[in-house]
Copies of this chain bind each other. A is one copy, B any other.
Amino acid sequence: MGSTWGNRLRISVYGESHGPAIGVLIDGLPAGIAIDEDRIIKEMKRRAPGSQAGSTSRKEPDLPTVLSGLFNGKTTGTPLAVEILNTNQHSSDYDGFTVTPRPGHADYAARLRYKMNNDPRGSGHFSGRLTAPVLFAGAIAKQVLRACCGAEVYGHIIQIGRVTGTSWDEVETPVIPKEGAFAYENTSVAARMEAEIEAARADQDSVGGVVEVMGNGFPGGIGSPMWDTVESAFAQLMFGVPAVKGVSFGSGFAVASRRGSQNNDHLAFQDGKLRMTTNHGGGFEGGISNGMPILAQVAFKPTPSIGKEQDTVNLETKENVKIEIQGRHDACIVPRALPVAEACLALAMLDAYLGKGGNHA
């Protein structure tokens, strides 16, 4: 049941990279929410191959078709199903990876798990392409959140390789990136990040990075301790993306080096309004939202598919061999992963929000 997630909202993702289609079912949506399909397409284009610096040269339209759950432009409240047809596959690019596993890929682990029965073409169900339906679900979640409580989700890139930007945890007033923009607000940092990607590509190599996502306008008091919280839900979702190796909230791992007196967020009335003077907790205390902006960071490893020669094995001959991975690959997936992280935050927020009015008296 690995491809199903959620408590009140439930998404179920299916598909293999080179099968007929991929898609997602979304169950548990409230009825009567108007959905703007153009906004969804815009979101999906942010993730689509070829749309971003560092991305593969494949061009896939990734146009979703809604099969159920929308009627007269509004959610019906019954399951919303969407499918995205697979086109433009070059299956031969992937031949042999069950025998000669690509380093850093799921080829070998999948072989152990599925005993050679999984579809290996394009990494099958492990493909990064499976984030497209997650993104679609998140784009729906963004619109439902906006309609239900006015919350908005944003994101930016805070690290590409050795180039680091500034976390929104450290700034007084975050600058929200323009929708759909290549999301580095500081243009000189952005330029250095792009250069970092291009340098990797030139070396037939790849590079990792960190994105930061924010949820603004989310009400306080949402979530249930211990494990039904936006924090646990977001982390669970993000680690479903194969490239993710770290998830943190607020000040993240930096809290470890601090004193309590530095790290505690203090409450204050300012102009008659209650707020916290810092947001090191990233919008949560005890897992429950406290009304401050939700802030999370996600670390992505460098794309494992690289043209450079690497060491691996032939599992049939039991010999050590070399591999050079051909094909069209991203030198850096971080720009395309950013909207996916935003989608995951929106899903985690909506799942928690839908508890309100039920057991949240």
Contacts and interface: CB of A to CB of B under 8 A. Distances in A.
Interface size classification for chain A: 35 or more
B357 A310 contact: no
B286 A78 contact: no
Interface string A263-280: 111111100101001001
A311 B232 contact: no
B13 A79 contact: yes
Interface string A232-245: 11011111111001
Nearest to A78: B125
Contacts of A232: 235-237, 239-240
A114 B357 contact: no
A257 B210 CA distance: 9
B250 A109 contact: no
A159 B258 CA distance: 11
Contacts of A210: 253, 256
B29 A359 contact: yes
Given A77-B359, A310-B266, A286 B19 contact: no
B81 A15 contact: yes
A71 B308 contact: no
A46 to B, nearest CB: 20
A258 B159 CA distance: 11
A246 interface: yes
B77 A118 contact: yes
Given A79-B14, A110-B288, A118-B31, A267 B356 contact: no
A259 B206 contact: yes
A277 B320 CA distance: 12
Contacts of A280: 301
Contact of A261 (B67, B205, B227, B249): B205
A236 B236 CA distance: 6
Contacts of A19: 67-68, 71
Interface stretch (A1-9, A51-59, A135-143): A1-9
Contacts of A346: none
Nearest to A329: B260
A73 to B, nearest CB: 10
A76 B31 contact: no
A360 to B, nearest CB: 7
A161 interface: yes
Nearest to A206: B260
A303 B115 contact: no
Contacts of A208: 255-258, 260, 263
Interface in A1-50: 1-10, 12-16, 19-23, 25, 27-33
23 contacts: A2-B287, A8-B358, A13-B79, A15-B79, A16-B68, A23-B81, A32-B114, A104-B263, A110-B286, A112-B219, A112-B288, A113-B360, A126-B225, A205-B261, A232-B236, A235-B236, A242-B287, A245-B253, A261-B306, A261-B308, A263-B301, A264-B302, A274-B315
Given A1-B8, A78-B125, 12 more contacts: A1-B27, A8-B358, A32-B117, A78-B225, A104-B265, A110-B288, A208-B263, A253-B297, A267-B313, A268-B312, A269-B320, A274-B313
